[in-house]
Amino acid sequence: MKLQKNDANDAEAISEAVTRPSMRFVPQKSVEQQDLQCLHRVRSRLVACRTQLINQIRGLLAEYGIVLAQHPGPVRRSLPTVLEDGENQLRSSSRELFRDLYEELVGLDEKIADADHRIEIAFPNTPDCRRIAAVEGVGPLIATAVVAAISNGHAFKNGRQFAAWLRLVPRQNSSGGKSRLLGISKRGDPYLRTLLIHGARSVIFRAKTKNDKRSLWIIDKQQRLGTAKACVAVANKNARIIWSLIAREQQYRRAA
């Protein structure tokens, strides 16, 4: 066993990895990819901070018997009304505290909006982003995140490998010729997987009013498997389509 990390052991490990035909290598990112990925990482942190702040505001107000909705919009609209209500149990000191929390929430909203604006500006400058944004359920946010993560997609042999890398396929526990499929794994890239599933949810919502082949397939999946599993199925299909458009430099052709 080689437990020590040094230049000699690193060089030997790299040489050994090159000789293995099944070894998968991570492609080097360009400066443009690094810029996009940094922007997405910052935005993801801001969204997580906003969620944490909203949960804290709701939890603290619940101690006073004041219940607010979970989503950012209702909390942002209801909190000023709560602060102006003189009949609740909030004292002047606690009102000042919640006013500071409200200003912090507004500041986070502005920073997230600024990050979204920067993504909108970067989106049209990349041909691959414009190409895959034609897929239903894929917008500038998802398109730039995918390009920042996989570039031209040549690190994967096919779309299924890309979907498996995102863990949008069931886990397997097969032995003795018996194939057993489990649930969706939490490994892979959680940020990309979450974005694709959110995009798929909007596709499923709009599929009810359409009668094309893709929409009928989505409706059938939803009826047989439920909305949650249908979202994963649509996200899986979108991931395969995205890989094909990037790796083969094709234009998306919508279903008739």
45 with 93, same domain? Answer: yes
Q: Are 232 and 168 in contact (CB under 8 A)?
A: yes
Range of the domain at 159: 127-171+188-256
Over range 95-103, report the average pLDDT. 92
57 with 161, same domain? Answer: no
Residue with tokens 């041909």: 127
Which tens digits make up the pLDDT trace of 129-188?
Answer: 888 988 888 999 999 999 888 877 777 888 888 888 888 876 555 455 555 444 555 666
DSSP state of 123: G
Look at the alpha carbons of 239, 52, 34, 10 in this order and tell me if their dihedral is positive or negative: negative
Phi, psi (degrees; rounded to nearest 5) at 50: -65, -40
The pLDDT assigned to 197 comes to: 92
162 with 231, same domain? Answer: yes
109 with 138, same domain? Answer: no
Cα 68 to chain centroid, rounded: 26
Residue with tokens 């020590």: 4
Number of domains in the chain: 2
